[in-house]
Amino acid sequence: MPKVDVYDVNGQVVGEADLLDDVFGAPVNHALMHQAVRVYLANRRAGTASTKTRGEVRGGGRKPWRQKGLGRARHGSIRSPLWRGGGVVFGPKPRDWRLRMPKKARRQALRSALSAKLRDGELLVVDRLELPEYKTKVVAQVLERLQAGRKPLLVTAEPDPELRRAARNLPGVRTVVASCLNTYEVLDCTRIVITQDAVKKVEEVFGPDGSARRHQTASGD
């Protein structure tokens, strides 16, 4: 079972925490992580780009000049793709870029990403992210003391509007709730700053028996 130091907001070690081996000590599957990132980015695409073909562009109903006798090239419409203002050949049309990935595969990819971050020393556990003042300057000072890098990911157990508001003006800093973690955000940060409560939430939601546990809780068993 992996063990990590627990820090306070001043960057001092205040204890030690045990992490669930199934979540933070899983084998790192690079192919699965690549697939999860590809699916995430594809699902973010709006798919609204659209161009007009020569049949959809306004105008061009008559032949610009007669076929022969003028020494000019033959044309049938001023809205041909060869003309300025004409239609577009093979241009984009609205489409659905959405991809699907099995839930078990998504969860395993996230476990791989978290395990890789822990292995590389880029997972920082803090006792809590309670600040004396929820101001951008204070958040920046805390992240500097924690050596969180230029693109840290702040993970809390529950939504924290004040922390989110204070951190949103810092370039590269993102905040996320533990239950909404995804592989792309985990891999796209320099360091994960996660509270102890958020660690427990991640282990509960994304552990191997997370789905079964949530089902029992919902059914009242």
Would you say residue 123 lies in a domain? yes
Would you say residue 174 lies in a domain? yes
Q: Pick the closest to residue 133 from 165, 158, 159, 157 (CA basis).
A: 165
Would you say residue 171 lies in a domain? yes
Record the pTM. Answer: 0.81
Note the pLDDT tens digit of each residue in 4-47.
999 988 889 988 999 999 999 999 999 999 999 999 999 999 99
If you average pLDDT over every residue of the chain, what do you get?
A: 90
What is the count of structural domains for the chain? 1
Would you say residue 180 lies in a domain? yes
Range(s) of the domain holding residue 189: 3-29+102-219
Would you say residue 70 lies in a domain? no
Domain CATH number, residue 120:
3.40.1370.10
Query: Which residues are paired to 17 by β-bridges?
Result: 4
Amino acid symbol at 50: S
Note the pLDDT tens digit of each residue in 45-93.
999 999 999 999 998 889 999 999 999 999 999 999 999 999 999 999 9
DSSP code for 26? -
What distance in Å separates the CA atoms of residue 62 and residue 31, rounded to the nearest whole number? 56
Decide: 192 and 123 in contact? Cβ < 8 Å: yes
Would you say residue 179 lies in a domain? yes
Residue 206 has, within 13 A of its CA and on its CB side, a CA count of: 32
Would you say residue 64 lies in a domain? no
Burial of 36 from C-beta contacts in 10 A (0-12 / 13-18 / 19+): buried
Would you say residue 210 lies in a domain? yes
